[in-house]
Amino acid sequence: METIQTAEATTAEAIWAILREVAASQKELSASQEETDRIIKESQEETARQIKEINKRHGDFTNKFGEIVEYMVAPNLQDRFYDLGLDFQEVSNDVKMQDKKNNISLQIDVYLQNSDTGMLVEVKADLTISDVNTHIQRMEKMRRYADLRGNKRVFLGAVAGVIIKDDVKEYALDNGFYLVEPSGQTFNITPPPSKPKAW
């Protein structure tokens, strides 16, 4: 009987020893998992920070590049539009208009005007369909802004880009915009196939 009790005690001690080892292993595993989670979280935060920095730099570069294009294109637009029968006496860059009372705010990259017509030109390094849609909205805002001031001037639109895919060109022209694109050391203006859209 004593031998059985001794065997049972030894077995119980062995089981308790195994359970303690398992518990210790689980504790180590849990600590290890917490450390792994901490490292992953820090890594994710660092990756997110780096992505944010890259996006900021890309945005800054794109904005600067767009400004360079804007200042290269703007001085010659007046002459090019004159060749197309549009005589604008004034050209301005980076024009901002705001009417807080009526919740209208817009920015125009290049604005050409005479007494009866205004031309709003949107300039992008890489022109997209989304940019064209945004310019349509800008044209509508300009019309509302002018109407609120009794300005009966007609507004036309143009989009310019260094990189313009064929589908974007077609979309811009189909929406009644003039298309300004590089050609050698200068640029070309393509009028819309039908009459330019007037706002």
Residue 36 lies in a domain: no
Residue 172 lies in a domain: yes
On whether the CB atoms of residues 138 and 96 are closer than 8 A, the answer is: no
| Amino acid 45: pLDDT | 79
On whether the CB atoms of residues 133 and 175 are closer than 8 A, the answer is: no
Residue 46 lies in a domain: no
Residue 26 lies in a domain: no
Query: In the chain, which stretches have pLDDT less than 50?
Result: 61, 65
| Amino acid 125: pLDDT | 86
Residue 116 lies in a domain: yes
pLDDT in tens, 114-136: 999 999 999 998 999 999 999 99
Give me the residues paired with residue 112 across strands.
91, 119
Instruction: Please calculate the CA angle 178-184-190 and round it to the nearest 5 degrees.
Output: 15
- State the total domains in the chain: 1
CATH of the domain at 87: 3.40.1350.10
Residue 134 lies in a domain: yes
Residue 91 lies in a domain: yes
| Amino acid 173: pLDDT | 98
For residue 131, the enclosing domain spans 70-190
Four-point Cα dihedral 148, 117, 125, 174, nearest 10: 90
| Amino acid 150: pLDDT | 93
Residue 100 lies in a domain: yes
Helix axes 166-174, 129-147, angle to 10 degrees: 20
Task: Using a cut of 0.85, tell me whether the model's pTM lies above it.
Answer: no
On whether the CB atoms of residues 112 and 118 are closer than 8 A, the answer is: yes
